Structure 1
């Protein structure tokens, strides 16, 4: 990983103190993007944006079709724009470049046209060509789309983002003209619970939900402040100190992606996961599917090939806490409730 002196330095992921829940959820989504993204809820100033940017900086480069507006994969037709797919059909050589995995920030005031892209109707009618101006979803294809304060975003826009994230495609229709392009990205939303929660039906569409709080231990707070001061003083020197750890974690993620398809989860464990979801009255089957995927991603990340009950315990709260029905009279935290039902299902008195 050669330091790019002409780019703005990014805080190293491996130097971030605490917030293990958020870091784990992000890494597991990078290993298996089909988990469905992460919603990070926590206090202001807890490093949500810093951690997401640090993760993107850590990830390996990807191969794209040169000068393509959609970061098309030159080898996978499911991740190609129409123009690149036409080149494949015509047996033309596709020029290939390497780029950093894209990270797109969605501004709060973004319009639907800015997010989805626009069709130039006049050009389409006069010249007979589909003139499309790509939006943020096109730029985010094969990368990460980050929405800060997602709970303040218009519900309709959140719906559009979640639909694209789930299907992997973005369709723009106007005046009878339709354009479709790949939009496969990891959706990461963050927000402060004081500013309001997302509607339950939208919250449920995020694969995982990490809750983070302000670090309370004085010695850790001092360490975080010192780390930041050292980084601000000399970012390149600070990053150089963590170069070895960064490289090791990047390799671990690459290996985990390659190993994922070989990870097994026993039928009995899958049955237990579904028992827990049923006991918690989780609507639909997303909870079951995400828990299975996240457990396998964790096992792959740790270099093993078989899921154990301990793996399920590690990730099940992240996968289910936001899917529970809210009971205003319930005093127990949703995370503890998930763990309680897990212990009951697996016959553990305590964990």
Structure 2
């Protein structure tokens, strides 16, 4: 079956504010290597992570509190004029209510009436929400939308696998997106999503839903733990990457980004931070190392918060400045692949 080609029009929107929240607790490789009895340097070699943050869940540090803190920074000291709060997270704080209202409440806006809901596409939730928000702003139904990705992915690991335990980091990030004029230059130029459900079982948490509810007879803890066949995911992505990047933008080619002219140049690559192997694989199918902002070594894989956390770092360090173009890219369970071109 041929993939249906959907045109993605340029949408004149701008990131008016961005914020990030990192839990105070830092877990080093030395701590984990001692716990699991693996050699010094083993974790960094296998995953590319040197340290990661851990939320103090027992102390009441929730995903909504983290997300609210990131959104507070994104809002700054300006007037609070939000038409919508989108929760774009892959690890929900609880099943019901939706995480959006929990973030609104944690921000102290529990009587504001601001609508809230979740856009959930696992690690690609931020990109999916960016697409949704840009469309709403462009058609004129909204003026300012907050997108919040807040993740406590560390709760989904089994605690017995050193590679899995060491990969995940907890973090939150938020952006405030607003409608702008085409003359100002900021725009979401292109968004491309593709899903191949033949890979749906390669990345999963099987339990927690109606199929394997925790209360059913025979339920086992493993149903609630994250499971992934990393090599199979990488190979599946590599097989499809060439066509995907060529469709996303003509200057993107497997093995590198050759666009250098004013209308083609990509100044920085903001990718999901899946793992050392995942980042190396991205270089093979179109993302160059020298233009890629890396946070994996200090933050680990922060699920959907990886892309906005890395975007935050690119902006704060000056690697992405107004008028420059960023490639946002990632893969997620499904199996899905998504990319976006954003002029900041």
| TM-score category of the 2 structures, normalised to the smaller one | under 0.3
Which TM-score applies when normalising by structure 1? Answer: 0.25
- Larger Rg belongs to: 1
Higher helix fraction (1 or 2): 1
Higher strand fraction (1 or 2): 2
